[in-house]
Structure 1
Amino acid sequence: MTRSSAPVRAVLVGAGHRGVLYSRYAQVAPDQLAITAIVEPDPTRRERWGAEFGIPHAARYASLTDLPDAGEVAEAAIDATMDQDHVRTATRLLAAGYDVLLEKPSAQNAQELMTLAEAQRTSGRILMICHVLRYATFYTEAKHRILAGEIGEPLSIEMAEHVSYDHMSMAYVRGRWGSSEQSGSSMLLAKCCHDLDLMTWLCNSAAPARVASSGSRGMFIPERAPQGAGTRCLSDCSIEATCSYSARRLYVELNGWQEYVWEQEEHVSPELDLDQKLESLRTDNRYGRCVWRAGNDVLDRQSVSVEFADGVLGSFALATNTPAPSRTLHVVGTAGEISGALEEGTLRVRRIRTDAAASFDEEMIKTSVTGDMHGGGDRPLVADFVRVVRGEPASVSSTQFADSVNGHLLVFAAELARQEHRWVELAELQTVTGA
């Protein structure tokens, strides 16, 4: 039953890049969503985004402990805290009566996943995970074609993600996710839980049964540092002017990744002029470190093999340091196949023919969104969350928690399989989580 047609009032918990992006849906669809409170420990962020969203000063909170229970200032929450804080903050919000849109990954291990599952069941509130790629037109079109039986019953699904050299070096070498020890997330969890979620969603007539995986770190290591490389690009490197990973080139001359590079761990830097930016990279800015001596420990390549309970076989390959980013998909069924690359915005559907005119027919589908982050899935995700909170039917892409568990379990099982060099039955983790 529909609750109300009024805008859903939401509190933004964690005013980083992703949380602000989701919250901006209120600015393009004010009849659907209103950001009426903010929880953010950093005062600069808290006041900056509190002002932009028109949040009263009384509803700008430094701590989640200051936030009243649902109903007073908001009935929903956008939880975009850091990975290691997701379970702690989400369970508190659910217990306080909030419906929650939680940034991925929802948990960092199987035990945390169990804790979150129990919190959601106990509260009875809505919990959706920000697997935004389910809402990208490229993947929703593939999902609809599979559901319609256009390629028959799925037999296999092959997926790959290629992380560009600038993204890899920014986020997973120099950035917060470069150390699994510090962030609590492996590369597979932090970057590729999207992909393994898509695999379980696209072929979800049966759950994944067992998984194997292998991977390594061999690119951004001291042994690969070129002759003349220093410890920081702008302080002691003699090859900075010709290095592909030059912090000056990537973050100043090309203006890449601005929302991350000039945002420090505990505060948002003020607007910097050129000299200040160069001095920041030269001294204490983590993004000014040499990529070969940044101390990262996450993998830069990995493969995952999956067997589903109904016999469907899945494979996923992560490759990093490519010139351009790319996600590819190839689903083969009993009567045809679907393939394509997200960034190209085109799906190819081939169907086996039964007449003598040709052996197969082919259809090219333009998904129209090629330049938007996450294939244009960010806004549709938030719109779907609003619909569900209002009591309206969810879309086929719905990322409600119960339908998002298997992708996370697959990540945890794959990491265990890689570490122990064996096939891992997901039942081993399902026993732990009660999933």
Structure 2
Amino acid sequence: MGAKPSCFQPTGTSPVPQEFSNVRGGSSEIPYMESNTEMSRQVTVLVIGAGSRGRTYSFFAQQFPARMKVIGVADPHPFARKRLQEAHGIDEDNVFDDWTAAAEKERFADAVIIATPDSLHKAPAVAFAHKGYHILLEKPMAVTLEDCKEIVLACKTNDVILAVCHVLRYHPVALKIKELLDAGLIGDICHIQHLEPVGFWHFAHSFVRGNWRNEAESTFSLLAKSCHDVDLINYWMGSRRCLKVSSFGNLSHFTKEHKPEGAADRCLDCSVEQTCPYSAKKIYLAQAKMGYFGWPVSVVCHSGEYDIESLTDALRHGPYGRCVYECDNDVVNHQVVNMEFEGGATAALTMVGFTHKLGVRKTTIYGTKGELSCEGSGPVEIYDFLERKKSSFSPNKAACVPMCLSAHSGADYYLMESFISAVAENNPSLIRTGPDDTLNSHLLVFEAERSRKENRVVLLEP
């Protein structure tokens, strides 16, 4: 095996703190691999949005240069733009501070990765579809159903591949569950119980202080965080159509009314900070002092200066140093979604921000002949009612996954593997989250939120 291309690490090779070991940075137990897939050609890619997600997907080119090459970048932030340019040796003519300038040029890449803020997905997706680019689009597809439909129409009209980043559909665990269900090992599905534990500090970071805190500026939390999970439920249910949906949830804690007595507006100035589990000192400064400047600390250091002084300054003046009880957040911090499908099968999704575990999803599927259960990366277990015994099934995982693509327990790698293969081979069947499936699952998310806001059961039209 040849020399390993390195993944971006702002502070070298410092270990990932245990608190962050199962999140975007991944576990240090997931090593580098080289793909053995035979490819017909290298796929050239333009990255629109060079922030956390856009940069993560671009790592595939550094790990597998024979398969993917990043030849263009557009981002309004000079540091993010320059970082990606230097990492991939992008020609100056293909570096843009606005995606519209890239869209005005003749098509110069095979595909485009669109990782702009959620509310800014539709315009570039439609524009680059009309230019003939194959599209990898960060989830959610868009923040309104109408915009989602417009994206799907543009991609179908121009016959381009669309892959929406419901990364969990590509993970071996989700695929193994689907395989076992389709094989009839638990009989007919009666009920799916699915839990997404967001993680207490992660919720504070992303949905109280961060980019997804305010619906008007981004979108509602079910779409931003749990469209993955609604999509998985819809996927596992197979051909059964969802008939009705109800949902409940609210913002119950991160409000001014819950601010501790004597607390300041910023954590660095707070006399009661030590008693607060959501303190910015604990979430960011404590990790940086251990030498860790990866996600989420890297998000706070938006200027690209990764040191204690720069981080402290960002916490003193920026959004991530605010008291969680003095932010402009309005999205719910927990929500339940109930669905009824054809044939009487039901499903219940619970999203909750107040959890110890982060992203370690737990699924139980109850069938007429058995019960299937799985937590995190598996294994998948089935209890057979007839035999009265439990069997364990291991997912068909890759031997190794590159560290920089190990987010979502390696699902980022499997997504990129599928997308680049689909484009190289001109084979849309390799895409598990294409336009129709994604539009269908997004519809369920929008209708669930409508149910929550209108306090009623929503009946779905055929």
Under a length normalisation based on structure 2, what TM-score does the superposition of the two structures give?
A: 0.84
Q: Retained in 1: the 8 A contact 2:215–2:330?
A: yes
- Residue 144 (structure 1) aligned to one of 174, 179, 183: 179
- Residue 291 (structure 1) aligned to one of 299, 305, 324: 324
In structure 1, the residue matched to 2:143 is 108
- Residue 364 (structure 1) aligned to one of 368, 388, 392: 392
SS state at 1:329 partner: strand
- Which stretch has the larger CA shift, 296-305 or 370-379? 370-379
- Residue 63 (structure 2) aligned to one of 2, 19, 28: 28
Alpha-carbon deviations, 1:287-342, whole Å to 9, x = none? 00001111210001111110112322111111112122231111122221211211
Distance 2:379 2:41 in 1: 37
In structure 1, the residue matched to 2:333 is 300
In structure 2, the residue matched to 1:356 is none
Give the counterpart letter for 1:363 in structure 2. S
Distance 1:291 1:11 in 2: 37
Residue 319 in structure 1 maps to residue 352 in structure 2: yes
Give the counterpart letter for 1:208 in structure 2. C
In structure 1, the residue matched to 2:17 is none
1:375–1:272 distance in 2 versus 1, CA, 3 Å: closer
Alpha-carbon deviations, 1:264-302, whole Å to 9, x = none? 6xx9313243233223212x2110000111121000111
Give the counterpart letter for 1:108 in structure 2. V
User: Alpha-carbon deviation of 1:412?
Assistant: 0.3
User: Alpha-carbon deviation of 1:169?
Assistant: 0.4
- Residue 76 (structure 1) aligned to one of 91, 111, 114: 111
In structure 1, the residue matched to 2:229 is 195
1:68–1:220 distance in 2 versus 1, CA, 3 Å: closer
1:12-23 correspondence to structure 2 within 5 Å: 12-23=47-58
Residue 342 in structure 1 maps to residue 376 in structure 2: yes
- Residue 193 (structure 2) aligned to one of 154, 158, 172: 158
Give the counterpart letter for 2:309 in structure 1. D
Q: Retained in 2: the 8 A contact 1:101–1:128?
A: yes
Cα RMSD, aligned residues only: 2.3
1:34-183 correspondence to structure 2 within 5 Å: 34-67=69-102, 72-183=107-218
Q: Structure 1 stretches of 5 or more lacking a match? A: 354-358, 431-435
Under a length normalisation based on structure 1, what TM-score does the superposition of the two structures give?
A: 0.89
SS state at 2:265 partner: coil
Give the counterpart letter for 1:362 in structure 2. K
1:70–1:381 distance in 2 versus 1, CA, 3 Å: farther
User: Alpha-carbon deviation of 1:147?
Assistant: 1.8
Residue 242 in structure 1 maps to residue 272 in structure 2: no
Residue 205 in structure 1 maps to residue 239 in structure 2: yes
Alpha-carbon deviations, 1:89-148, whole Å to 9, x = none? 101110111010100000112211222222122212111100001122221111111122
Distance 2:135 2:314 in 1: 37
SS state at 1:191 partner: helix
Residue 253 in structure 1 maps to residue 281 in structure 2: no
1:52–1:192 distance in 2 versus 1, CA, 3 Å: same
Give the counterpart letter for 1:142 in structure 2. I
1:39–1:334 distance in 2 versus 1, CA, 3 Å: same
Q: Retained in 2: the 8 A contact 1:304–1:316?
A: yes
Give the counterpart letter for 1:51 in structure 2. E
Distance 1:246 1:16 in 2: 24
1:216–1:181 distance in 2 versus 1, CA, 3 Å: same
In structure 1, the residue matched to 2:6 is none
User: Alpha-carbon deviation of 1:392?
Assistant: 5.5
In structure 2, the residue matched to 1:409 is 443
In structure 2, the residue matched to 1:433 is none
1:384–1:71 distance in 2 versus 1, CA, 3 Å: farther
Q: Retained in 2: the 8 A contact 1:11–1:74?
A: yes
Distance 2:62 2:307 in 1: 29
SS state at 1:292 partner: coil
Q: Retained in 2: the 8 A contact 1:251–1:258?
A: no
Give the counterpart letter for 1:276 in structure 2. S
- Which stretch has the larger CA shift, 189-198 or 370-379? 370-379
1:193–1:285 distance in 2 versus 1, CA, 3 Å: same
SS state at 2:344 partner: coil
In structure 1, the residue matched to 2:33 is none
Distance 1:323 1:260 in 2: 17
Distance 1:86 1:59 in 2: 20
Q: Structure 2 stretches of 5 or more lacking a match? A: 1-38
Distance 1:281 1:303 in 2: 33
User: Alpha-carbon deviation of 1:391?
Assistant: 3.4
